[in-house]
Amino acid sequence: MPDGSGPEQLPRIPYTHPLRTAGEEMSDAAMKDRATRFEALMEGRRTVRDFASTPVARSVIESCLRTAGTAPSGAHKQPWHFAVVEDPEVKRAIRKAAEEEERAFYGGRAPDEWLHALAPIGTDADKPFLETAPVLIAIFARNYDVLPDGTRSKNYYVSESVGLAAGMLITALHGAGLSTLTHTPSPMQFLNDVLDRPANERAVILLVVGHAAPHATVPDLGRKSLEDMASFH
């Protein structure tokens, strides 16, 4: 029984991994096979800047968003909002505002060290993909929630939680056969204005989503080896 000293705990339910529930073998060999097949799929994930205008079914986007919503979050506050943009006029407004910020960035706001790091990738202030790609997903972090009575409810580990959800969204979209680009113009307040989002939300990523154009190319980049990015103790 609750003692009145705080919120009542959520009820507990049994847990079994979904693969075990489905009766799939979970030997070391079976897990290694699943892990390496998934690794191979994700090894092919690349940031794409040339998109086809081919539409993407809303149902695919919705499924990937639900996957993102399974991410862990501080105190299970789920401090994220995904604003999906498909309307050409809204995409055009976003491109206009983003390119204004990008021109300021490349034209003097960015330190030389940052520009030097970006040079091999070949990015610049022009962002035609913001109109060409069929879907934009603006990912917002909610620093606090507003309760029905108008009071604020603080969220915890917001950046970490939203970062986890964003990573799961990118993974889900790639797994569905789509390509993405993580666009982060700075500052991003214009997204609140264009998309009419409230003051308790802060845009962190503008995710560009669609099919890679037939002529798309990507930089020939390497990835860190396991030895360079992990240690075992």
d(CA 199, CA 202): 7
Q: What is the mean pLDDT of each run of 10 residues along the chain (233 residues)?
A: 69 90 87 96 96 98 98 97 98 95 82 82 88 98 94 97 98 98 92 96 97 95 95 97
Phi, psi at 216, each rounded to 5°: -65, 140
Nearest Cα neighbor of 218 from 73, 117, 110, 121 is 121
Phi, psi at 17, each rounded to 5°: -55, 140
> What predicted TM-score, i.e. pTM, was given to this entire model?
0.92
Classify domain 48-215 by CATH number: 3.40.109.10
Tokens of 27: 């030997």
Strand partners, 50: none
Residue 1 pLDDT? 43
Residue 25 pLDDT? 81
Q: Where are the alpha helices (DSSP H) in the chain?
A: 18-21, 28-43, 58-68, 88-104, 112-118, 129-132, 158-175, 189-195, 226-229
The domain segmentation of the chain, as residue ranges, is 48-215
Q: Which helix (H) or strand (E) holds 207?
A: strand 201-210
Tokens of 44: 């092919």
Question: C-alpha angle 86/78/204, rounded to 5°?
Answer: 50
